[in-house]
Structure 1
Amino acid sequence: MGNYPAAYQATENGALSVDRAFYDRLADATDGRELIEQFTVPIRSGRAWVVPAGHVCRLLTPEGPQVGDFNVWNLHDPRERMWAARTRQLQRAHVSTYDRIWSNLPFLRPLLTVVADSLADYGVDGDGGRVHDLLGTRCDPYVNRMLTGEDFDFHCHSNLTRAVLPYGLTEFDVHDVLNVFQCTGLNDEDRYFMKACPAQAGDYFEFFAETDLLCAMSTCPGGDLSVHMWGPDAGDPLEVCRPLAVEVHRVPGTLLDGWHEPPRAAYRNVHGMRMPNWGDDARGTRWQE
């Protein structure tokens, strides 16, 4: 594995810098938190929920290994949503503590920051696998039909679609995911692989909401991914499916001193175009730079 430098880098204390001490305080001060919402997502289903800005959300594996497919939007404008591809470039292909999930254009700002991860020490295994994956995307019934000739309505894309309907969103709003607790990598043929989830009962992934968020998560129908879903060795993973849990916590206000919601991208959105300046006479169009 080479050490060639990352393509996307910022100046010291620039846009990609993270105040680690601030996020460490949020992660460590668990005694002062107030639990405001808690629920379980049953197997092969999905759930959407709100995380207010300045709150912490914890995703858990309460009964053992299970993969979750996670989506996130700006609560007040769902056109702003997680941008998996740019996050891979600005952060990493597998995220952990201090990494951020960035939003799409023209917004381009951190929606959330990871503050705690019980699997942070997993690192890279002997097959090149890592956890909390942005490399792949959600399983879906369209690919399943293409690969198997069969319909199945409880893939992650469908679970997320059902989950967001109460919030006025549709299938068109479901987007590429963060595969929480999922272990993946690229093999020697540069092809995507998935391994059995290394999480155990009680493992967690925790993030801080940088703005008001609408979140959704599917409990993947592949369960812990120890059973292949496609190919010659495919089987029914039902026996390795387990629920996931979600907690939303309010943190003490004193911990948020100095924190501000990230602003939208500073670019002017001109894209090299000149705008008409009609002046006092619409018959004589002038152009402004």
Structure 2
Amino acid sequence: MLNYPAAYQSTKGSALDVDKAFYQRVASQHDTRTLIESIVVPIRSGQAWTVEAGQIFRIVTIEGPQVADLNIWSLHNPRERMWAARTRQLQQAHVSTFDRLWSTLPFLRPMVTITDDSLADYGVDEHGGRVHDLLGTRCDPYVNRMLTGEDFHFHCHSNLTRAIAPYGLTEYDVHDVLNVFQCTGLNLEDKYFMKACPAKKGDYLEFFAEIDLLCALSTCPGGDLSVPMWGPNARDPLEVCRPLGIEIYRLAPQMLDGWAPPSVAAYKGQHGMLLQQPKWKCGC
């Protein structure tokens, strides 16, 4: 099969051309960063946190394999949030180092850039599986009720909903996710599959915040996905659920020389609608 070219091409100097040297310095010079917050997200729960532009945050498997669902918003305007579908097109369906997560219209700018990924060498396995996907989305209690007739309140959608409630947001603000540490792909029937998480204790995915952010993470109730949750052999995967860690770092000021937060999209949003003066006159 020929490797057909991508629809969106990254050319030198374009918006998709990443300054790899800058992000490599950020990732490698650990003596220039200071840990300012460390969070543990318990099993089957969610946690939200804020990150300032120019800071780093890491998601870490502190006890062993565990998949997670990540949502990101602009801290100052939650209408601007991560756009999984466009990120799939501009970057990849499975993301890693130097890929960016882009925001929704009409903002359309990189929200984070991935600076380091301990699973970057996983590649493509014998089933076509890859890690950190934007193909699927969060598990939710609505689908669960539809398929099983039972209520369960700790799906990733519910975990994220609880996590962002203190920030004045609701489930309407929860959006399609980045599935962190999750191994997925499309099978020969073009259907989404999930495999057991390949992460080990101490694995991580690291992000550079391009703008001020509100982030939320759910530790998936499926744990490491090594136990079937659907079908004739389904059972509760509680035994393979593990907590995750969040680490937030401040960089030394000199590390940010030459960097600036990205601006929102330049398009003015007219959409072909011309503003005309009204034809009537007021008789007042």
Deviation at 1:282, TM superposition (A): 5.8
> Could you say which residue in structure 2 is the equivalent of 1:250?
250
Deviation at 1:243, TM superposition (A): 0.3
**Structure 1: which 5+ runs fail to align?**
285-289
> Could you say which residue in structure 2 is the equivalent of 1:39?
39
Q: Quote the Cα distance in structure 2 between the aligned partners of 1:276 and 1:163.
A: 46
Q: Quote the Cα distance in structure 2 between the aligned partners of 1:128 and 1:233.
A: 24
Q: Does 1:283 align with 2:281?
A: yes
Deviation at 1:31, TM superposition (A): 1.6
Q: Given residue 103 of structure 2, which amino acid in structure 1 is its aligned partner?
A: S
> Could you say which residue in structure 1 is the equivalent of 2:144?
144
Question: Can you list the C-alpha shifts for 1:60-116, whole angstroms capped at 9, x where unaligned?
Answer: 000000001000000000000000000000000000000000000000000000000
> Could you say which residue in structure 2 is the equivalent of 1:240?
240
**Kept after mapping to 2: 8 A contact 1:97/1:115:** yes
TM normalised by structure 2 equals 0.97
| Matched length | 282
Q: Does 1:103 align with 2:103?
A: yes
**Kept after mapping to 2: 8 A contact 1:119/1:203:** yes
Q: Quote the Cα distance in structure 1 between the aligned partners of 2:188 and 2:277.
A: 57
**Kept after mapping to 2: 8 A contact 1:111/1:209:** yes
> Could you say which residue in structure 2 is the equivalent of 1:227?
227
Q: Quote the Cα distance in structure 2 between the aligned partners of 1:230 and 1:47.
A: 26
Indicate the larger mover: 113-122 or 26-35. 26-35
**Counterpart mapping for 1:261-276 below 5 A:** 261-276=261-276
Deviation at 1:233, TM superposition (A): 2.0
Runs of 4+ in 1 over 6 A off after TM superposition: none
**Kept after mapping to 2: 8 A contact 1:156/1:220:** yes
Q: Quote the Cα distance in structure 1 between the aligned partners of 2:262 and 2:253.
A: 18
Q: Given residue 126 of structure 1, which amino acid in structure 2 is its aligned partner?
A: E
Q: Given residue 231 of structure 1, which amino acid in structure 2 is its aligned partner?
A: G
Question: Can you list the C-alpha shifts for 1:219-259, whole angstroms capped at 9, x where unaligned?
Answer: 00000000111122211100000000000000111010010
> Could you say which residue in structure 2 is the equivalent of 1:172?
172
Instruction: Report the aligned-residue RMSD.
Output: 1.1
Q: Given residue 256 of structure 2, which amino acid in structure 1 is its aligned partner?
A: L
Q: Quote the Cα distance in structure 2 between the aligned partners of 1:203 and 1:254.
A: 28
